[in-house]
């Protein structure tokens, strides 16, 4: 039977960052991850870091590669009605964003945890969590072909929407709010040099499109599609033709084509679980909340959660003071609902709504026109996009 102070389930950004922040405070952790190291380091996810998220990685000593290889952006572009409209993030807020893939953040955090002799058990399949009402929870898992147990003081559930952590809470103790959307994103990863200095969010009658990048040689692009869309039904030629159609506005800017390395469907949904704490279990990241990807907030919310959780746990281990833990859920949820609102707002503004009548379509156009024409409306978008200030209770 293994023993640790905090058992972290899930080696995504939330679990890895939490383990790293706790180690800096002298608190032992063991990370249990169901997948292999190769899988979690190659899983393509979000690529935009808010100003505060990038600063947090630097402050934690894991931002050096991000600063060397990431791409700092001072603006984003909205493309609609045949024109591009620049939202100047730096001018409006004094802050920037960093384009740096989530899998790269995961690589950096794993490398640092292992360099610091942190314990990460890959391919460790958790079958159950017991004793959350006691002061010694027990996690049962399979690793290296053997059934094993891990006892701890606290369990950090960072294992995503489908993980075992939230499912281990007794019925009725957590309320969930969810919303699905009548569309999804078809994601394309292409070996093609970016032709824009900024991300391009496009509203087209055929549907939304997003032009992003992962490196000076690789672009990441998305098309609005049906939730049941088969990505393999799209030929490479058909994908490029539709991306040109939705993203380009006839002003001379065009996108580079190249070999398509990956195609996948990203579902669109909103989800919030509250509270984010049940006794000795604390939820973080996608285990507690999911936002539509339009606002680029998923990884950023996960990193914000653990920046609140780490000092709260340290306070408990230092003096048995539960003040921070008691405030953890309310503090995070206040931010989560603001971010949820922003993500839904951007989604509705930019996506073709399948059942929208003429009245709703004109309102959508007026919203876009307002953001493009008004500094105050653009500032609202910019302030949310670069990231709201992080409030950590003292």
108 close to 126: Cβ distance less than 8 angstroms: no
Query: 303-324: buried (b, 16+ CB within 10 Å) or exposed (e) per residue?
Result: bbbbbbbbbbbbbbbeeeeeeb
Instruction: Please confirm, yes or no, whether 244 is among the known catalytic residues.
Output: no
| Closest alpha carbon to 280 in 390, 372, 151 | 151
Residue 99, classified by CB atoms within 10 Å of its CB into exposed (0-12), middle (13-18) or buried (19+), is buried
Instruction: Please confirm, yes or no, whether 143 is among the known catalytic residues.
Output: no
Pairing label, strands 209-215, 138-143: unpaired
Instruction: Please confirm, yes or no, whether 211 is among the known catalytic residues.
Output: no
Helix (H, G, I), strand (E, B) or coil at 297: coil
Catalytic residue (one of 20, 51, 73, 85): 73
Instruction: Please confirm, yes or no, whether 297 is among the known catalytic residues.
Output: yes
Q: What are phi and psi of 120, to 5 degrees?
A: -125, 120
How many angstroms separate the most distant Cα atoms in the chain?
Answer: 65
Q: What are phi and psi of 160, to 5 degrees?
A: 80, 175
Could you tell me how far CA 93 lies from the centroid of its own chain?
22
Catalytic residue (one of 183, 211, 328, 385): 385
CA angle, corner 205, sides to 201 and 208, nearest 5?
30
Instruction: Please confirm, yes or no, whether 227 is among the known catalytic residues.
Output: no
Q: What are phi and psi of 81, to 5 degrees?
A: 50, 35
Catalytic residue (one of 20, 51, 95, 297): 297
Q: What is the DSSP string of 24-92?
A: HTT--EEEEESS-HHHHHH-----EE-HHHHHHHHHTT--HHHHHHSEEES-EEEEETTEEEEE-HHHH
Residue 198, classified by CB atoms within 10 Å of its CB into exposed (0-12), middle (13-18) or buried (19+), is buried
Catalytic residue (one of 183, 201, 211, 328): 201
Catalytic residue (one of 293, 311, 328, 351): 293
Pairing label, strands 154-157, 281-283: parallel
The catalytic site residues sit at 73, 201, 293, 297, 385
């Amino acid at each position: 039977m293994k023993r640790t102070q905090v058992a972290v389930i899930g080696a995504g950004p939330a679990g890895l960052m939490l383990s790293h922040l706790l180690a800096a405070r002298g608190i032992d952790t063991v990370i249990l991850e169901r997948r292999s190291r190769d899988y979690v380091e190659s899983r393509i996810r979000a690529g935009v870091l808010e100003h505060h998220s990038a600063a947090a990685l630097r402050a934690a000593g894991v931002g050096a590669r991000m600063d060397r290889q990431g791409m700092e952006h001072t603006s984003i572009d909205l493309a609609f009605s045949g024109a591009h409209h620049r939202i100047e993030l730096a001018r409006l807020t004094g802050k920037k964003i960093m384009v740096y893939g989530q899998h790269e953040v995961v690589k950096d955090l794993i490398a640092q945890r292992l360099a610091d002799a942190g314990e990460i058990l890959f391919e460790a399949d958790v079958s159950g969590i017991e004793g959350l009402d006691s002061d010694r929870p027990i996690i049962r898992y399979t690793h290296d072909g053997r059934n094993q147990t891990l006892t701890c003081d606290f369990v950090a559930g960072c294992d995503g929407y489908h993980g075992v952590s939230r499912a281990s809470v007794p019925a009725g103790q957590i309320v969930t709010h969810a919303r699905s959307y009548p569309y999804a994103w078809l994601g394309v990863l292409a070996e093609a040099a970016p032709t824009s200095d900024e991300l391009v969010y496009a509203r087209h009658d055929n549907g939304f499109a997003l032009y992003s990048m992962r490196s000076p040689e690789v672009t990441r692009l998305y098309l609005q599609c049906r939730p049941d869309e088969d990505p393999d039904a799209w030929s490479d030629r058909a994908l490029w033709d539709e991306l040109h159609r939705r993203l380009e506005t006839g002003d001379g800017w065009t996108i580079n084509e190249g070999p398509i390395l990956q195609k996948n469907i990203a579902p669109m949904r909103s989800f919030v679980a509250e509270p984010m704490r049940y006794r000795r279990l604390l939820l973080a990241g996608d285990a507690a909340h999911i936002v539509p990807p339009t606002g680029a907030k998923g990884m950023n919310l996960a990193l914000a959660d653990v920046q609140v959780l780490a000092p709260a746990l340290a306070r408990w281990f230092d003096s048995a003071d539960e003040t921070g833990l008691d405030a953890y859920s309310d503090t995070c949820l206040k931010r989560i609902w603001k971010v949820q609102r922003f993500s839904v707002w951007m989604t509705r503004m930019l996506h073709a709504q399948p059942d929208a009548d003429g009245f709703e379509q004109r309102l959508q156009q007026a919203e876009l026109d307002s953001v493009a024409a008004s500094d105050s409306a653009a500032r609202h978008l910019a302030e949310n996009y670069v990231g709201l200030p992080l409030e950590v209770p003292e």
